[in-house]
């Protein structure tokens, strides 16, 4: 991690992989991650932590399974939402989006309880953000 400022749009330009977050920085024991997303993620839950989403570009939808039933939260650019711990949820972006997430270091992107993970979803605890000097290499090799 660098102690230099990070321009988020420049950081997003360093990778193309969908549903494969990059760690921008750490705050105490939390990762600040960015990701490009399109299509559907997987139904999952994080048993011990909330999950924070901020939409940087596009629109993100989050389907939720709550005691009252299922509902969908729509998040246009500039909006934030926190999924409470233990809540089954499925993010999806019909037309693509760029998002920022804030969650404890080591949190798996597919949660503690999840459906089968499709090939287009990266089950990871986040990848290191590659600096601009390595951006071409990052785009060529999948993580």
Tell me which residue has tokens 């924070």: 52
Q: What is the pLDDT of residues 111-133, one digit of tens each?
A: 666 667 666 765 666 767 876 54
pLDDT of residue 143: 45
Distances (CA, A) of 34 to 6, 68, 69, 134: 11, 31, 30, 17
CATH code of the domain occupying 8-140: 2.60.120.10
This prediction has a pTM of: 0.83
User: What does the pLDDT read at residue 141?
Assistant: 43
2-43 per-position pLDDT tens digit: 678 899 999 999 999 999 999 999 999 999 999 999 999 989
pLDDT for 84: 95
Question: Rounded to an integer, what distance in angstroms lies between the CA atom of residue 62 and that of residue 80?
Answer: 11
Strand partners, 37: 97
- Supply the DSSP string of 75-132, one letter for each residue: EETT-EEEEPTT-EEEEEEEEEEEEEEEEETT--TT-SEESPPPTTS--SS-EEPPPG
| pLDDT computed for residue 118 by the predictor | 61
């Amino acid at each position: 991690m660098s102690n230099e400022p990070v321009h988020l749009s420049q950081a997003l330009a360093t990778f193309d992989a969908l549903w494969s977050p990059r760690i921008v920085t750490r705050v105490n024991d939390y990762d600040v991650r960015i990701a490009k997303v399109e299509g559907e993620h997987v139904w999952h839950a994080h048993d011990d932590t909330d999950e924070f989403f901020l939409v940087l570009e596009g629109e993100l939808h989050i389907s939720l399974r709550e005691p009252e039933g299922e509902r969908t939260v729509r998040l246009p650019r500039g909006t934030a939402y926190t999924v409470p711990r233990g809540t089954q949820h499925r993010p999806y972006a019909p037309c693509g989006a760029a998002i920022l997430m804030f969650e404890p270091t080591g949190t798996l992107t597919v949660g503690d309880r999840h459906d089968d993970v499709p090939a287009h979803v990266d089950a990871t605890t986040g990848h290191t953000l590659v600096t601009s000097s390595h951006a071409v290499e990052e785009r060529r090799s999948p993580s």
